[in-house]
Amino acid sequence: MSIKNFVAYNPTRLHFGSGVVKNLGETVKNYGKNILLIYGQGSVKKYGYYDQVISQLKENGLLVTEYSGIKPNPVVEDVREAVALGKENKIDVIVALGGGSVIDSAKIISLSIANNTDPWEYMTWQQMPQKNIPLVTVLTLAATGTEMNGAAVIQNKETGQKLGFVHPLNFPKDSFLDPEFTVTVPGDYTAYGIVDLIAHALEAFYGEGDPSVIDSITLDIIKDAMHWGPVLLNDLSNVDLRANIMLDATLALNGLTSYGKSGGDWGVHGIGHELSLLFDTPHGATLSIAYPAWLKLQKARIPKRIEKMGQVLFGTDSIDDIIIKIEDFFTSIGSPVRLKDIGIDSVGKEKFLEQMNKNKVSGMFHLLDEKDRVRLVELMDI
């Protein structure tokens, strides 16, 4: 066992549970009067979440400018447009209503307005922000953990990159997590969210360091999601089940699973981001394809670690069985496990490999070279 040096920091105030949005207006009011409200492509209007949020803001006398249309796998062009709108309206606070794509965009919009910098400067780590515009989020999809972390991920089709920027100024001030706002997430995205939160726990688990208490917590989060996830998928409007998965997702990536570690690995996320970039594949769906292949690649290199995971999750230390069980779980909840499941043919595979090599996709701890990437693509298609 080794506990690595680490820094723990999490300034986000979490408001969790049914009805918490009734305190949204009062909270936002503390940060200023001129609000930029950001949301996606319409689900929040269709299901009434927008009405609840807007009435909270209006009842508290706040002035609201809106930017809508943020796409899943968000793009820098939308971020730039929202920055221009926010500057024009001299906004004091940003309220993000949506899933990871909306909240990630809002984080970078906040930095770009406050520091008068082009968003891509942050995503490529060319600039470090000095300040931000306060960000308050209302989460509508349990998956990414962005509601309580300092990360944001944005795509740029022009440069061919999907990149993450992690910074203390990215943390939301307050995040409102009402599980009732997630009951309308369809089955496929609910499953992708479950895959995503499991993948976050795994990225942490396969990072550097193995503090025993954190290993237990991390694997317990996965176990919980594997137990309740399928129950939820048969009962999508069950608020208690939604709340449980929502809590799992926040805990998987709010810093806790990295205590005692130098950091997570994130190689599988790197692979997944290239798939999203090229084929617009939903984030969680990329991870259910990439994780089994990555485990197969790593099985001779880190057998003990994979066995530890298998013992806790499945009561077995046969590595081949462990990988099959993970794959079967992803399949059982309707998330793809092979490139062909998302329609990628041999031309697509070539493009994917080329793209991974161009961006030198690798992990932080378990490094990947060109030979590994060739093998990974093969393993994603066997």
Catalog residues that contact ligand NZQ under the rule CB under 6 A.
40-44, 47, 72-74, 98-102, 104, 140-141, 143-146, 149, 151-153, 181-182, 184-185, 189, 193, 196, 253, 269, 283
Q: How far is CA 264 from CA 31, 36, 184, 256, in A?
A: 33, 33, 31, 11
> Partners of 10 in the beta sheet?
none
The least CB distance from residue 252 to Zn ion, in Å, is 9
Partner touching 117 among ligand NZQ, Zn ion, none, CB below 5 to 8 Å by kind: none
The least CB distance from residue 156 to Zn ion, in Å, is 18
The least CB distance from residue 157 to ligand NZQ, in Å, is 13
Distance CA 57, CA 9 (A): 29
The least CB distance from residue 351 to ligand NZQ, in Å, is 19
Identify the CA nearest to 137 among candidates 311, 269, 12.
12
196 or 265, CB closer to Zn ion?
196
Q: How many CB atoms lie within 10 A of CB 343?
A: 10
114 or 236, CB closer to ligand NZQ?
236
The least CB distance from residue 241 to ligand NZQ, in Å, is 15
Distance CA 163, CA 160 (A): 10
Residues at the interface with Zn ion (CB under 5 A):
196
Partner touching 184 among ligand NZQ, Zn ion, none, CB below 5 to 8 Å by kind: ligand NZQ
19 or 61, CB closer to ligand NZQ?
19
The least CB distance from residue 135 to Zn ion, in Å, is 20
25 or 270, CB closer to ligand NZQ?
270
Distance CA 259, CA 304 (A): 21
96 or 219, CB closer to ligand NZQ?
96
Contacts of 222 (CB under 8 A, 6+ apart): 198, 201, 202, 313
Partner touching 197 among ligand NZQ, Zn ion, none, CB below 5 to 8 Å by kind: none
12 or 310, CB closer to ligand NZQ?
12
The least CB distance from residue 332 to ligand NZQ, in Å, is 20
Partner touching 312 among ligand NZQ, Zn ion, none, CB below 5 to 8 Å by kind: none
Alpha helical stretches, state H, 206-282: 212-233, 239-252, 267-279
Distance CA 37, CA 294 (A): 39
151 or 364, CB closer to ligand NZQ?
151
Partner touching 264 among ligand NZQ, Zn ion, none, CB below 5 to 8 Å by kind: none
> Partners of 36 in the beta sheet?
65, 94
Q: How far is CA 215 from CA 198, 203, 255, 257, in A?
A: 13, 12, 13, 8
Q: How far is CA 43 from CA 49, 141, 257, in A?
A: 8, 11, 31
